[in-house]
Structure 1
């Protein structure tokens, strides 16, 4: 996926979850939209270089969007709205062997009036597969970890995938690690023990759990390699 034109600045602070103040040379201080609902633990330090996109939509209150932060060991993609775009591009290109048998995919699929999953994959000689995709930005001691805050919504998605699998279809939970400095993935049991418990239980019962890091710079980002999943 190609980034839009990015402007470099320096992070002053993130606040009210969806806002960030950024200093840009020869522009001054701007308020940017932060499209990330998580805590952004260990990737929102004031003083770090950040990269913003600019939007001309007159209905937008904040014209800048925070896309990347440079954490020294890696750029980190903080815009969770890009996660499904990155994953959809990998599906279209059939660049991930585990999902290469599927011919088509449908985004934003409703299971019931109150539950939606990110993708439904279909193929001529394979059973349908429902996939939920999560954005991961937390890395600690070379381990990519999710979630970075307690997530009732994430727990609900695991239960929905288990129900899909129990009904006879395929189900997968995919973590896209939008950074390059992780060596493996693990559930963040020290942050949300119930999420970690549910995820491990779902994996034992047959829900596929996969994690992938990315190749990225300030011009593009793409799925890179399969990260080992470690449960303890």
Structure 2
């Protein structure tokens, strides 16, 4: 099943609307990746000296975080037990990839606030970290003085791209499966529900679920889509100083 975005004749071009949605990284230091110690910690090399760095994502990223890879890290306050650096960008061939899993949420929140996403123009209240059933979702959107008109959004960070195909997840994810089931419950309760996949690089031509890593997630994604859960994918332009939401990417499920 293949689908992409089609705008109506009287709707503004969504790609023009999101061009200003950027987040600055601040100063990043060029480093060499040495090894990953655990899910959230790695060793990096700066001027022949080894430092510990926070890995801001629980994804495996085995194709990115390889010994000798060029990475860019932000220096952080290491007081209170924090690691002295945080990985932000990995250079994969000619491509810059942002691996901060919180960045997609920040981009989508900014886009919603600036009404840069035409799919959600009608909402004027944004509630972050909203709970429905047994799950917490990234955003709940409401229209003030319009009871029942709500939309729940879950944002997913995507870093894996192979031959132009962006894929999620890069490892089995029961949490992601649970979110899909809860989003379907939301839809059946009469509300809108949506998954936004933010691809933190610009070399993806299409997006599809990673059935090789998580067959159950791929099956669930197709099921919930056919039952009305909305799916959206955006890519990003990553520079050394900032990340910018770029354009919609077609989805295959």
Shift of 1:148: 0.2
Instruction: Work out whether 1:33 is the aligned partner of 2:54.
Output: yes
Report the CA distance between 1:127 and its aligned residue: 2.0
**Unaligned 5+ runs, structure 2:** 1-22
How many residues were matched structurally?
229
* 1-10 vs 95-104, which moves further: 95-104
Moved more, 33-42 or 129-138: 33-42
Which of residues 161, 165, 168 is equivalent to 1:143? 165
**Aligned-pair distance for 1:70?**
0.6
- Match of 2:217, SS? helix
Residue 13 of structure 2 corresponds to: none
Aligned residue among 231, 235, 241 for 1:219: 241
Partner of 1:121: 141
Structure 1 residues 44-75: Cα deviation after superposition (integer angstroms, max 9, x where no partner): 12211111111125113312111110102311
Which position in structure 1 is the counterpart of 2:6? Answer: none
1:99 alignment counterpart: 120
Pick from 83, 98, 102: which aligns with 2:104? 83
Determine if contact 2:44/2:51 at 8 Å carries over to the other structure. Answer: yes
Spell out the pairing of 1:179-218 with structure 2 (5 A cutoff).
Answer: 179-218=201-240
Aligned partners of 2:51 and 2:84 also within 8 Å: no
Where relative contact order (Cα < 8 A, 6+ residues apart) is larger, the structure is: 2
Q: Secondary structure at the match of 2:228?
A: coil
Match of 1:10 in 2: 32
Q: Structure 1: which 5+ residue stretches go unaligned? A: none
Report if aligned partners of 2:126, 2:139 keep a CA contact under 8 Å in 1. yes
CA contact (8 A) 1:67 1:77 kept: yes
Q: How far apart, CA to CA, are the structure 2 residues paired with 1:224 and 1:95?
A: 11
